[in-house]
Amino acid sequence: MLFRGLAASLFATVALSFSAAYAQAPAANPLDAIPEKMPFSTPYGAPITAEKAQAVIKAAEDEATKKGWPLNIAVADSGGNLVAFVRMDGAQLASIAISEHKARAAVKFRRPTRAFEDGVQLKDLKYVTTLDDVIASRGGIPLIEGGKLIGAIGCSGGTGSQDEAVCTAGAAVVNK
């Protein structure tokens, strides 16, 4: 009898706890906010020329050389296709594909790859990792000329901040 009374009391306490938890208003989900304007909607333009892609690579390579950072540097066109690439002496082999991936992701999603890194690392937006072709690592920057996306640069082989700094120097050839 005593056992039944204790069990009933325990059950009632647990049931009240659960009902009180569900009665509280759920926390607002920041992903439910609807922006007024479409973010990252720079229109795609004509593909970057080989000559301009080489100039972007040269500026990035000069910056990496100045800093002593052997990197892989890729430029993709507005369709995400590789146009120019350099593997600096001593750059790690794994970063060849990563630099290309960063350039393609920056083109496809029309945003710096840092946006994905920030989403995962700072905003806990785990869903980002479920999107095809995302790379949540900085070092991919769109190239915008005349208000249109003509390609992107991707750098890999250093830390994310090193990759991004070199990409920024290369992107400055186009992004003015």
> For residue 150, which of 55, 71, 86, 62 has the smallest C-alpha distance?
55
Q: Report the distance separating Cα 19 and Cα 7, nearest Å.
A: 18
Q: Given this model, what pLDDT does residue 17 score?
A: 52
Mean pLDDT (whole number) for 133-155? 97
Confidence of residue 28 (pLDDT cuts 50, 70, 90): confident
Distance in angstroms between the alpha carbons of the first and the last residue of the chain: 82
Report if pTM > 0.85: no
pLDDT tens readout for residues 88-137: 999 999 999 999 999 999 999 999 999 999 999 999 999 999 999 999 99
Of 10-24, 25-39, 98-112, the least confident:
10-24
Rg for the chain, CA atoms, rounded: 24
Token pair listed for 61: 């390579």
Q: What are the residues whose beta carbons fall under 8 Å from the beta carbon of 2, sequence distance 6 or more?
A: none
